[in-house]
Amino acid sequence: MTALVTPFRDGAVDEEALRAHVSWQIENGTQGLVPVGTTGESPTLSHAEHKRVVEICIDEAKGRVPVIAGAGSNCTAEAVELARHAEAAGADAVLVVTPYYNKPTQEGLYEHFKAVNDAIGIPIVIYNIPPRSVVDMSVATMARLYELPNIVGVKDATANLARVSQQRHAMGPDFIQLSGEDMTALAYNAAGGHGCISVVSNVAPRLCAELQGRSLEGDLAGALAVQDRLVPLHDAIFLEPGLAGAKAGLALLGRGTEEVRLPLRPVTEPTKAAIRAAMVHAGLINA
């Protein structure tokens, strides 16, 4: 599944480019779309823009793949509002990040997610990313939340592979575990994960889909061969903020601009050169 970038042109959301990106992703094997997460620059989108991006993504996907709409906020009322909009717009599920900056307790985390659960009737994927939100949802809290009717899984960006096994032990094999980190996505699946919400697949959707497909089918040798092609790109895209790296890669493919919103900036020339070299290594562009 791809954590979609939000294309901009002259400061505004580029709706035509977003539609083209959605269709290109689906045509190249992406099995799910995640608009307006962090990679979609949700912190710098207005509420109206956020909702419009969700609507465009759902409309362009046309039911071909699931859409898991970002609905995260460090304000519970705002998260509820965004989740309700996503449901009304036709999203298949929502992705809700652990509240950032506030540093809530585990009980506060539970009540935040319960409020979203109680407000909607579609599945909720917890997004646990301690490096960004500063708080780590415990396995015990996740297990409590899994007892609620709409909590179905986690996007796990802890980069701690032990968590896959611990969460599987606590919640069972039906709890959906999606890696939130490209470099360790293969190992995540090997430990019991069910897939990845990927940034790199913005640029390399077919390769990332092949990596996931082979790993989930048990073809470790085939998955490793794809991983070997992708490792430099996994590194290069995250030398600076990953969404800026992804936009640089898309620009090299002729599939978008590098425009991002402040306080982010387009990647520097050395990083762009590293991304280009990694794309050549992966076979995405010619030397």
Q: Just list the catalytic residues.
A: 127, 155
What's phi and psi for 178, nearest 5 deg?
-115, 130
Burial of 262 (0-12, 13-18, 19+ CB in 10 A): exposed
CA dist 178 and 156 (Å) reads 6
Q: Which amino acid is at 157?
A: A
E strand spans, the chain: 2-3, 8-9, 12-13, 33-34, 68-70, 93-97, 124-128, 151-156, 176-179, 195-196
d(CA 209, CA 206): 5
Give residue 11's Cα distance to chain centre: 23
Of the candidates 217, 183, 178, the one whose C-alpha atom is nearest the C-alpha of residue 200 is 183
Other Cβ atoms less than 10 A from the Cβ of 35: the count is 30
